[in-house]
Amino acid sequence: MFAFGAVRFDRDDANSGGWAAIAGNKALRISSHGDLDNQTLWWSNLSFKAVHTCNLHKTPNFKRTTYLNAWDTSGQSGICDSWGLNDPRFSEQVKTQFLSAIFTRTMGVAINHYGMTSDGMPLADNLADELRCIMLPDPDKSFGPEIDAALKSAHQYFCYPVTPRLVGDDFITINFQIPAVKHAKAMLECVYPSDEVKYIPSEALPPNKNGHRIKWALESERPLLLKVNVSQISPDIQNVLGFANGAKRGRQWVSQPELLQLSRYATVDITAAFMFSEYRVLGGNCSLPRFNRLQSMSPTAEIICSNHWVSLCKENPYSLEANKADQRQISPRAVWLNSMDRFFCFSYAAKLASFGITVKRYGAGSIMCVVPKYHYKEVFEAACSIGLLSPSKIISEILMQEDLNHV
């Protein structure tokens, strides 16, 4: 059985020096990646580019910074932000020690709950794909070029509201989180379509007047994937809604949950549809680990639960479909769950925007805001008042700001 360790290089370069720690033990100084032993699974702070530049992506026991949070390019730094490790009181040596403990406990749950192997190195480049292959070991199937294209069009991870470009030294971004265990439970309660589907052309749809077609789509007991034209978005919400802003492809198709959201704020014209035979629920093999209330507030619970539901919202992992990510199959399950995640996040983003707060991005259980660098107490209080969690370091920074304002 191998150990789990964290390594933080001084630069985004595996040939630079850094700190390495195993299982929460004291971090030791290293001169380069060559000092790391091959019987430990190493979670590094290196970017995709840095890992590929030196061919370390071909080393099974070496993982890049986003291994535990593939949906967030900040990787280790994002986890440090969430749990207060980027506080200047903590040295790189201490950060590395704490990260190695978090990694060890997280992988312990992956082994004990999911049955992830403990005698061979994980092959995927992120934990979400590891969990997906255990929970749903069969690849999501193709439906044919037309339906596959519609599913890819409807699939979107993040939404980027249309906001003023606030740059420079006067502003920073803060990522507020929906409590991870709570959000994961809500996501896993969502239903999704079956694999049986038929096409409904425009002439076979209900009359497109007096809202009949929208009413039919929203009240349908069968899941619908709908081709839409969206216009006349309400001025009060258009910037936050940001429909299709952030999509990898042009957005022409939406799921029923997204139609419900859009129809409240915009004129939506349905021009075609794919109808699935029934709704399904996720099976017992997709059940979350059990965490008590205290455990639910831990880094381990947050990381595991987030990876759990995200794993069900992605394209096929590389190990199930050896192709580029944007060419792998997207399932109806992934489309529906992703739309529900954006639906949940939008409700928080809209509330923050109503307080006059600039929302930069939402999705994956988080809402990223742009705030004045030295005056974000009001933003912190607004986010907390609606049930969002803030990075731990913000509290100490707010206290320092208030103290300095009175000096």
Q: pLDDT by residue (tens digit) across 170-218? A: 888 899 999 999 999 999 999 999 999 999 999 999 988 888 999 999 9
Query: Which structure tokens are listed for 358?
Result: 């600039």
Contact, 190 vs 333, CB < 8 A?
no
Q: For residue 260, what is the enclosing H or E element?
A: helix 256-265
Alpha-carbon distance of 53 to 246, in angstroms, equals 28
DSSP designation for 356: T
Average pLDDT over residues 322-338: 92
CA dihedral 295, 296, 301, 305 (to 10 degrees): 150
Integer angstrom CA distances of residue 110 from 139, 247, 284, 339: 21, 31, 16, 26
User: Which pLDDT score, from 0 to 100, does residue 170 have?
Assistant: 82
Among residues 40, 43, 33, which one has the least CA distance to residue 13?
33
| DSSP string covering 170-233 | TEEEEEEE--HHHHHHHHHT--EE-S-EEEE-GGGSPPSSTTHHHHHHHH-SS-EEEEEEEE--
User: Which pLDDT score, from 0 to 100, does residue 288 have?
Assistant: 95
DSSP designation for 287: P
Query: Which structure tokens are listed for 19?
Result: 């700190």
Residue 166 has pLDDT above 70, yes or no: no
Question: Scanning the structure block, which residue is given the tokens 């080393």?
Answer: 59
Among residues 151, 154, 143, 149, which one has the least CA distance to residue 195?
143
Give the domain ranges of the chain: 1-123, 140-407
* Mean pLDDT score across all residues of the chain: 92
Residue 236 has pLDDT above 90, yes or no: no
pLDDT tens digits, one per residue of 245-260: 888 777 899 999 999 9
Pairing label, strands 3-9, 40-44: parallel
Task: Bin 372: left if φ > 0, else alpha if -120 < ψ < 50, else beta.
Answer: beta
Residue 229 has pLDDT above 90, yes or no: yes
Alpha-carbon distance of 251 to 226, in angstroms, equals 11
Residue 407 has pLDDT above 70, yes or no: no
Residue 163 has pLDDT above 90, yes or no: no
- Residue with more model confidence, 208 or 106: 106
User: Which pLDDT score, from 0 to 100, does residue 1 have?
Assistant: 66
Alpha-carbon distance of 401 to 98, in angstroms, equals 27
Contact, 395 vs 379, CB < 8 A?
no
pLDDT tens digits, one per residue of 344-369: 999 999 999 999 999 999 999 999 99
